[in-house]
Amino acid sequence: MGDFAFIIHPIELDDVFRKLKFMRSWPVPVVETVVKALPPFKVSEITGVQSDYAQTSGHFVSCPLTSKQMVELPEDKVINKIIRAGKVAEKLGAKIVGLGAMTSVVGDAGITVAKNLDIAVTTGNSYTVATALQGTKKAAELMGIDLANAEVLVMGATGSIGSVCARILARDARFLTLLARDKNKLDLLSARIMRETGLATKVSSDVKRSVQRADIIIAVTGSAEAVIDVMDLKPGAIVCDVARPRDVSKRAAELRDDVLVIEGGVVDVPGDVDFGFNFGFPPRTSYACMAETMILSLEGKYESFTLGRDLSVAQVDDISRLAEKHGFKISGFRSFERAISPETIENIRKNAQRNTQKLSQS
């Protein structure tokens, strides 16, 4: 028994091969067919989550579909499999279930899943946004960027997540550009930020020019394809890519060793937590979306928290407050679903300094 559950899935076939090594020699179409046919199942027990105020335990439950399959298969089939994974969580005694990675993105972002389960559901996106912004600020410090004097760009600013990010960033940034296609919506958001914070923002629909000027980019466009050409980025630029599908492709990012692409923060979990499963993070750390589920469980807040695509500043502030109360905090960064080391970031910073000097001398 456990109070919460979290649904995970293989991001790519390499994740399948890490568990089922014998499949490496199989033809890819055969492996994909096998993965697609597997039913959801319990992966592990999660124990030792404990704050100064409460303790909780839970389970990982797998929804066996890769990210590619989540995007390409008929939406109703994917959602049905996520619901079946939620039913496994129910049988395990969970009072709340979190949706991980693409399971929180497909369809209506958890609303249909919640309607078909008898327990609370959360996507974890509120804490994901909170830690993405916290992580961006921390990354800026490590890269030697002063947020108050940096050119900050929010791409996809008129969407629900982009709007929340822009409104929160406006508390600290002085030079903020909002980018989206709809000029009227941009003007409305800009006016709202002016009312809330007194900050006058720029608005733009010119992706290339805006990217070339930016020191810090929050990318949440909702585009089906990558929209940032990494060759346009300044040396030393930071891109926090919150979008799914991504706004920066992994292959493109590999062309630049002087820019930092992150997806958000790696979160320290309070207590002597044992996940019972290695998902590629350092011990006792988790994704923010996982952490949101644990935070709500520690708080005894067994009600659906983040569902759909309409996030609010109040939700982000609320989960940030609860995270601090229970001792969750950012401990590192992740990039393309994996934790990245401080040494990697230091190398990027040095490469950026070198390339900036070359540009200034040319």
Q: What is the 3-state secondary structure (H, E, C) of the chain?
A: CCCEEEEECCCCHHHHHHHCHHHHHCCHHHHHHHHHHCCCEEEEEEEEEECCCCEEEEEEEECCCCHHHHHHCCHHHHHHHHHHHHHHHHHCCCCEEEECHHHHCCCCCCHHHHHCCCCEEECCHHHHHHHHHHHHHHHHHHCCCCHHHCEEEEECCCCHHHHHHHHHHCCCCCEEEEECCCHHHHHHHHHHHHHHHCCCCEEECCHHHHHHHCCEEEECCCCCCCCCCHHHCCCCCEEEECCCCCCCCHHHHCCCCCCEEECEEEEECCCCCECCCCCCCCCCEECHHHHHHHHHHHCCCCCCCCCCCCCCHHHHHHHHHHHHHHCCEEEEEEECCEEECHHHHHHHHHHHHHHHHHHHHC
Q: According to the model, what pLDDT value does residue 160 have?
A: 79
Average pLDDT over residues 95-101: 94
Q: According to the model, what pLDDT value does residue 361 have?
A: 79
39-43, 121-125, 338-342: which range is least confident on average? 338-342
Task: For the beta carbon of residue 45, count every other beta carbon within 10 angstroms.
Answer: 16
29-33, 221-225, 340-344: which range is least confident on average? 221-225
Q: According to the model, what pLDDT value does residue 244 have?
A: 66
Average pLDDT over residues 67-81: 93
Q: According to the model, what pLDDT value does residue 226 have?
A: 85
What is the DSSP pairing of strand 338-340 with strand 238-241? unpaired
pLDDT digits 0-9 by tens, 230-286: 999 999 999 999 876 788 988 878 899 999 999 876 899 999 999 999 887 889 999
Residue 27 has pLDDT above 80, yes or no: yes
46 vs 25, residue with greater confidence: 46
Radius of gyration of the chain (CA): 20
Q: Provide the residue count of the chain.
A: 362
Task: For the beta carbon of residue 362, count every other beta carbon within 10 angstroms.
Answer: 5
Domains and CATH numbers, the chain: 4-126+266-330 (no CATH), 131-260+334-361 (3.40.50.720)
What value does the mean pLDDT of the chain take?
92
Residue burial 272-289, b: 16+ Cβ < 10 Å; e: rest:
ebebeeebebeebbbbbb
145-149, 155-159, 331-335: which range is least confident on average? 331-335
Q: According to the model, what pLDDT value does residue 18 have?
A: 80
What is the DSSP pairing of strand 216-219 with strand 41-50? unpaired
Burial (CB < 10 A; 0-12, 13-18, 19+), residue 123, is buried
At which residue do the structure tokens 């990494």 appear? 230
The answer to whether the beta carbons of residues 256 and 348 sit under 8 Å apart is no
Report the predicted TM-score, pTM, of the whole model to 2 decimal places.
0.85
Q: How far apart are CA 190 and CA 188, in angstroms?
A: 5
55-to-51, 62, 94 alpha-carbon distances in Å: 6, 24, 14
The answer to whether the beta carbons of residues 167 and 144 sit under 8 Å apart is no
Q: How far apart are CA 350 and CA 362, in angstroms?
A: 19
